[in-house]
Structure 1
Amino acid sequence: MEYITREIVSTNWLTILLLICLGLLAIAKGLNALRFSDFMMLFSNNKYIISYQKPNKLSSPFNAVLLLLQIASVSLFLYLYFDIFELQVVATEITLYIKITIIYAVIVICKLLIEKIIATIFSIDGIVDEYLFYKVSYRNFLGVILLPFNIVFIYALQPTRIVYLILVILLIILNLVVLVSFYRKNENIIFNHLFYFILYLCALEIAPYFILYKLISN
């Protein structure tokens, strides 16, 4: 009888990471249960945006916790890309995840800071603060949506490349729908400054994600 070596990949650090994500979700609910309940209904109604956009700043503890959850969850989803597509990388699994997390976090935070600086320079803090709250809220919610997918992909069912790509495309479409809905709401302002709007899209909404891909893949 010949023995066949079975390679067992440790998921200990992934389990700890997912527990941290669930812990962040619990902390957010603990900070404000009513707000959390409205947040979880974000795609079904606008109550969360209407109720919390004006009186709460983007840097509130509630938003900060959900932003951390977004960074952890999205970074894990990007990490799974390397496993699903069987890409050879020099870094160890956890090192690769840390690299992805740092790059993604830096890009997200730098984008927010740059947009705030631009708003201050051009004295458009009101509309930009509204836009950032709107965009970050929906992307935080996307981070929550990705969490169960990450759990299933790690412990239950490894998706095929087609399934992963379909999910990515659906997330991109969902993100575009969210952005377009805000742009349509403020189309008069956009059309009056169309050149700067196009410049903004290229510099801060498209280019950072190409940079993210290049930095991770190298």
Structure 2
Amino acid sequence: MEIITREILSTNWLTILFLISLGLLVTAKGLNSLRFSDFMMLFNNNKYIISYQKPNKLSSPFNAVLLILQIASASLFIFLCLHVFELELASFEITLFFKITIVYGVTIMFKLLVEKIVATIFSIDDIIDEYLFYKISYRNFMGVILLPINIVFVYALQPTKIIFIVLFALLLILNLIVLISFYRKNENVILNHLFYFILYLCALEIAPYFILYKLIK
């Protein structure tokens, strides 16, 4: 019988990362257990969005904790993807992970800042705040979903290229569904400002992720 060797990632720092991520989940629940329960049912109903989509809710400690978790989970998922596709470059594992985390985190925060500035300039704070809360809430939830997936990939299942391609496709579809559902909800506002909406999509929804891809590559 031929022995097939399997390359194993160092799990020391990954274990610490998972403990921190689980600690963030516990912290979010401790901040507001009722809100956390509503958040975990986000894909089943709109109760969370309806109840907490109010001014200044975007910058709440609850959202901040979940945003940090999203950044950690998404960065690790990208790191594992690069590892499977053998694109680790010349960096040490943890160094590469921190590079991805910094680039991803800075991109997310810079994008939020620019969107808030655009909202202020064009006096559309209400609709943009609603949009940002809606989008970030669902992406934070996807960050929570990625946490157990990452744990399985590190400790139990050797992921393949096909698995990552399927997962990326599913995440892309989920993001599109979330965005389209919001756009349909505000269809009249978008149609009245269609040209600016197209510019917004190109400048703030497509370009940042293209730049993120180029920087990580």
Say yes or no: does 1:163 pair with 2:163.
yes
How many residue pairs are counted as aligned between the two chains? 213
Could you tell me which residue of structure 1 aligns to residue 192 of structure 2? 192
Q: Percent identity?
A: 77
Task: Give 1:87 deviation, angstroms.
Answer: 2.0
Moved more, 87-96 or 175-184: 87-96
Partner Cα separation in structure 2 for residue 73 and residue 10 of structure 1: 17
Matches within 5 A, 1:61-210: 61-210=61-210
Partner Cα separation in structure 2 for residue 128 and residue 6 of structure 1: 48
Task: Give 1:90 deviation, angstroms.
Answer: 1.1
Could you tell me which residue of structure 2 aligns to residue 34 of structure 1? 34
Unpaired runs of at least 5, structure 2: none
Q: Note the alpha carbon deviations across 1:158-177, whole angstroms, 9 max, x for none.
A: 11101110010000000000
Q: Give me the TM-score of the superposition, normalised by structure 1.
A: 0.95
Which residue identity lines up with residue 10 of structure 2 in the other structure? S
Partner Cα separation in structure 2 for residue 104 and residue 120 of structure 1: 25
Task: Give 1:57 deviation, angstroms.
Answer: 1.9
Q: 1:138 to 1:9 in 2, by over 3 A?
A: closer
Partner Cα separation in structure 1 for residue 204 and residue 64 of structure 2: 21
Q: Give me the TM-score of the superposition, normalised by structure 2.
A: 0.95
Q: 1:8 to 1:168 in 2, by over 3 A?
A: closer
CA contact (8 A) 2:42 2:138 kept: yes
- Please tell me the root mean square deviation across aligned C-alpha atoms, in Å: 1.4
Partner Cα separation in structure 1 for residue 24 and residue 206 of structure 2: 29
Q: 1:8 to 1:196 in 2, by over 3 A?
A: closer
Q: Note the alpha carbon deviations across 1:32-58, whole angstroms, 9 max, x for none.
A: 000000000000000000000116521
Partner Cα separation in structure 2 for residue 76 and residue 206 of structure 1: 22
